[in-house]
Structure 1
Amino acid sequence: MEHLIKSEIVKLLIENSTGYISGEEMSRQVGCSRAAIWKHIEELRQAGYEIEARPRHGYRLKYRPDRLAPEEIHPHLQTERFGREMEYICFTPSTQIIAHKRAKDGAPEGTVVVAEEQAEGRGRMGRVWYSPPKTGIWMSLILRPPIPLAEASHLTILASVGVREAIQKETGLDVQIKWPNDLLINGKKVCGILTELRGEYDQIHYVITGIGMNVNVSESDFPVELRKIGTSLAIETGRTIHRASLLATILKELEQTYFIYLQEGFSAIREKWEQGAAMLGKIITARTAQGSVTGVAERINEQGALLIRTSTGIVPVYSAEIDLPEN
């Protein structure tokens, strides 16, 4: 409840940023006392907002810090479920760890854990995801899909489709999907998606979809060894991206894609995925635990496996590292 009041106050301040809004009017619109308004204004100031108070005029917003707090995201949110419950953390080892705890405690589907900085952000196969403070979107989304355990791989595919569409709508950039979980711009990784689940006996208890995205990371922010393979939205667009509105768009597109999947099945999602896939029709090498497979990437099947056409026939690959040809 507290963060919802704060969200409404920020929304009112933004809507009236060219003038003042009185504490009395805020109290009336938000539905709390003027003393509560004053308390939340002070908390916002402590969080970095510059809010001018003028006798007989009210409050005016002079500066908003770049934050992913609920009060910044909710004014932009256009979802039914995703992001309506949100936990915001300045620093954490990993949003995945916290999301697992919240899911076990019964957090509703659509709950989001978002952090300004991660010390131990994770990618596939336990790799570390570089997560510098206040430059990206480091988040985890709790899902409770009514699907069999065998179809859980669909969720990574649909997440990559939803996030791709959100980035393209917010930036106009051409984003390509690299199977199974990376988003690329001009051949460089801008976002990784990690799906973890808990279930038993063909029943999914919950799924955690982790998203790590380089938003306002500058080239100098990247370690030297990552500069040739990593990029950010700011690098590619040449401008700073408003992270809160981007995150709201990501949640909207993810929710829409998720609902389409639940209503229409995997085929509708697979078609969108193939439209954005970076490797289809190209000769690639898939490095699996059983060895390497080289051939033409054809498509993905109903289980989400990548089908590779080799000299001896079609080989389905369920888990691998993909080496793409040089552009």
Structure 2
Amino acid sequence: MKKQELSTKNRVLTILLTQPGVYFSGDSLAQSLDLSRESIWKAVRSLKADGHQIASRKKAGYAYLRSQQVDALVLNQWLHLLGSDLVENQQPVVQVFEQIGSTQAYAKDMVAKQPLIRPALLVAREQSGGYGRQGRAFYSPKDRGLYVSLALPIPVNTQLSPSLLTTSAAVALVQGLQTFFPAAPFQLKWVNDLILHGHKIGGVITEGVFDFESQQYSAVILGFAINLMPGAFPNGLESKAGTVLADSEADLDLNVILAQLVVNLLKMADTYQNGDYLPVYRKLSLLIGHAITVKVGTDEKTGVVTGISDQGGLIMVEDNTGQPQTLYAGEVTKVKLLENLNL
């Protein structure tokens, strides 16, 4: 009985999603699905209880507006709509978790057990063990943001460019966010932090999965987390972390935003090695022209950032030597005048 009820409401939702905002009469839905009007009404009521916002209008019917949480069916529909120019093997297989330790850890384990044939998109409504670079924890409260890992297969004999991939992915994410929040002054802190109004609102992590038999990387896992709506940050994070929106009741659909970000990343993955994203990365860079401290291994270097190299490295003039050098690994721990970015 439960399976039948779930199937019914998903069938109704699938039709409503073909034209978001457009009304479908109860009669037309009933005829299309060979159901009674009462069954349609019950399905819509159940969908609303699940967090889907569906408008009901007398004599007009029902129209899908938005969903208050990530939903696999809704996300898939938006991926096909926004990614209609992607080839079939670029369309990802989607899996949504109510709660998980870490999508990134799950993705790495999944790929290690079975090679990827096409991209896999793993999304959590909530994470208990989300992490970023250097293993740093990322607070992931339920339905307050996007917590995602995109696993991409790597064709045989394809070389990775980790610094270019991470910087390009950061640009692709910002460009996706700008589609919905065009007035927000997003910035990027090398190499992977998304900054808004002087606070970290998200980050990117790229991890490769190595195949010992072929002696090359078989997949890369692009993980990202973005704080969209306010939530109660743990002690110590309030002054450092931020959110894209100040209003937790804002009318937005996490699914359409996520779909746009993923489509941007899938397109980026095909072209990032040519460096096309670097001009935008440089424009968005928070660090160029600033004095910083960067930790490389156990050493700390201080100096002024002068640019981003053509391979995504950080170019800085070190105080001790007065000579320019390019860093491809490290963690910026302090930006003069922006101490709250010590994350």
1:71 Cα shift?
A: 2.1
Give me the whole-angstrom Cα distance separating, in 2, the residues matched to 1:282 and 1:236: 32
- Equivalence for 2:241: 230
Which amino acid letter does the alignment assign opposite residue 248 of structure 1? A
Structure-2 change in CA distance of 1:281 and 1:145 (3 Å): farther
Deviations 1:27-67 (A, max 9, x none): 3xxxxx659x969768746634477999xx89635885412
When residues 289 and 15 of structure 1 are mapped into structure 2, their CA distance, relative to the original with a 3 A threshold, is: same
Q: 1:168 maps to which residue?
A: 178
> 2:119: which partner in 1?
110
**Structure 1 residues 144 and 320: alpha-carbon distance in aligned structure 2, compared to 1, 3 A threshold:** same
Q: Which of 223, 226, 230 is the matching residue for 1:217?
A: 230
* Aligned residues between the structures: 314
Task: Using the TM superposition, give the Cα deviation of residue 299 of structure 1 relative to its aligned residue in structure 2, in angstroms.
Answer: 2.5
User: Using the alignment, how far apart are the partners of 2:53 and 2:172 within structure 1?
Assistant: 35
- Sequence identity percentage: 23
Q: Does the CA contact (< 8 Å) of 1:306 and 1:316 recur in 2?
A: yes
Structure 1 residues 222 and 240, CA gap change in structure 2 (3 angstroms): farther
Q: How does 1:145-294 map to 2 (within 5 A)?
A: 145-146=154-155, 148-149=158-159, 151-172=161-182, 173-199=184-210, 203-218=216-231, 221-235=232-246, 239-261=250-272, 265-294=273-302
Q: Which residue of 2 aligns with 1:310?
A: 318
Q: Which residue of 2 aligns with 1:320?
A: 330
- Structure 2: gaps spanning 5 or more residues: 1-6, 339-343
Q: CA RMSD in A?
A: 3.4
Partner of residue 91, structure 1: 99
- CA distance in 1: counterparts of 2:127 and 2:278, whole angstroms: 32
The 3 A distance-change label for structure 1 pair 270 and 53 is closer
Question: What's the counterpart of residue 76 of structure 1?
Answer: 78
Question: TM-score, normalised on structure 2?
Answer: 0.79
Distance 1:49 1:317, change over 3 A: closer
Cα 1:86–1:171 shift into 2, 3 Å: same
Deviation at residue 21 of structure 1 after TM alignment: 5.3
How far did 1:85 drift? Answer: 1.6
Give me the whole-angstrom Cα distance separating, in 2, the residues matched to 1:126 and 1:89.
21
Contact 2:21 2:65 in 1 (8 A): no
Secondary structure of residue in 2 paired with 1:8:
helix
Return closer, same or farther for 1:53/1:253 CA change in 2, 3 Å cut-off.
closer
Deviation of 1:246 (Å):
1.1
- Tell me how far apart the structure 1 counterparts of residues 250 and 60 of structure 2 sit (CA, whole Å): 34
Distance 1:82 1:148, change over 3 A: closer
Q: Which residue of structure 1 aligns with residue 29 of structure 2?
A: 23
Select between 276-285 and 228-237 the one with higher mean Cα deviation. 228-237
Cα distance in 2 for residues equivalent to 1:58 and 1:243: 26
Is the 1:176–1:184 contact (alpha carbons within 8 Å) kept by the matching residues of 2? yes
Superposition pairs for residues 132-151 of structure 1, below 5 Å?
132-146=141-155, 148-149=158-159, 151=161
- Paired with 1:236 and 1:34, the residues of 2 have a C-alpha distance of 40
Q: Distance in 2 between matches of 1:23 and 1:140?
A: 35
How far off is 1:169 after superposition? 1.7
**Could you tell which deviates more after superposition, 172-181 or 107-116?**
107-116
Query: 1:257 and 1:65, CA in 2 relative to 1: closer, same or farther beyond 3 A?
Result: closer
> How far is the alpha carbon of 1:316 from its aligned partner?
2.2
Which of 11, 17, 32 is 2:17 aligned to? 11
Counterpart-to-counterpart distance in 2, 1:299 and 1:5: 52
Change (3 A) 1:233 1:165: same
Q: Distance in 2 between matches of 1:204 and 1:42?
A: 47
1: CA distance, partners of 2:239 / 2:21 = 42
TM-score by length of 1: 0.82
Deviation at 1:127, TM superposition (A): 1.3
Q: Structure 2 vs 1, CA of residues 298 and 61 (structure 1 numbering), >3 Å: closer, same or farther?
A: same
